[in-house]
Amino acid sequence: MNQDDLKRLVGEAALDFVRPDSVIGVGTGSTVNCFIEALIKSGMRIEAAVSSSEATTSLLQAGGIEVIDLNQTGGLDIYIDGADEFDAHRRLIKGGGAALTREKIVAAASRKFVCIADQSKQVGVLGAFPLPIEVIPLARSLVARKLVGLGGQPEWREGVVTDNGNWILDVHNMDLVDPVGMEKAINNLAGVVTCGLFALRPADLVLMSTESGVQQL
């Protein structure tokens, strides 16, 4: 099986966690796209979805699924999203697709966060994947200098503008042995919208696809 097959497998497995006629939160990325495809194919009726990006909104709407604003609904039963990395405590790095801020908001509004990922995303310690950080454009250099002070090597993802009109810094070589502490420290920097660490609010369940099937972690 190649990585695309593993993404499809775990995208389909996530369907088992969706309650018919509920309002669900939907993340962003190629693994989530497999989930959306499986959801549409299944014909399961859901009341509506809260989306974490313009790209996901387009896909959902093209498949006939109503997308509503988070302000129109209360807490969500479930949020389904991918990750760039996850550890044994279900803490994540996200934001490879630049949708981290809306993803963090929808995750915070959800009672259960199911992360879907193939086995290549599993790590012992987070941080091999450069940590994405959404910044207010005016503060890019200021935040970059502060990140160097925290031990990282930030790189501007030039040309990328988030759905919120902001920019992304990808930080290499951050020491993330204390992901909760680092998430708080980075989120406290003036000019940071949010960082791609999901440690304060980790996933509740990781569905990991492997050659021999989908495991629940």
Binding site for ligand 5RP (CB under 6 A): 27-31, 81-84, 94-100, 103
CB of 97 to ligand 5RP, least distance (A): 3
d(CA 166, CA 150): 22
CB of 157 to ligand 5RP, least distance (A): 12
CB of 110 to ligand 5RP, least distance (A): 15
What lies within 8 Å, CB to CB, of 27 at 6+ separation is: 52, 56, 79, 80, 81, 82, 99, 103, 106
Question: Which CB, 113 or 154, lies closer to ligand 5RP?
Answer: 113
Cβ-contact 104, 194 below 8 angstroms:
yes
β strands within the chain, DSSP E:
23-26, 48-51, 76-81, 85-86, 92-93, 110-118, 131-135, 153-156, 167-172, 192-195, 197-198, 205-210, 213-216
Q: Catalytic one among 12, 37, 85, 103? A: 103
Question: Which CB, 141 or 164, lies closer to ligand 5RP?
Answer: 164
Question: Which CB, 6 or 18, lies closer to ligand 5RP?
Answer: 6
d(CA 186, CA 68): 30
Cβ-contact 25, 52 below 8 angstroms:
yes
Active-site residue flag, 103: yes
- Least Cα distance to 118 among 11, 211, 17, 6 occurs for 6
Sheet holding 197-198, edge to edge: 85-86, 92-93, 197-198
Question: Which CB, 97 or 127, lies closer to ligand 5RP?
Answer: 97
CB of 81 to ligand 5RP, least distance (A): 5
CB of 188 to ligand 5RP, least distance (A): 22
Question: Which CB, 25 or 96, lies closer to ligand 5RP?
Answer: 96
Active-site residues, by number, are 103
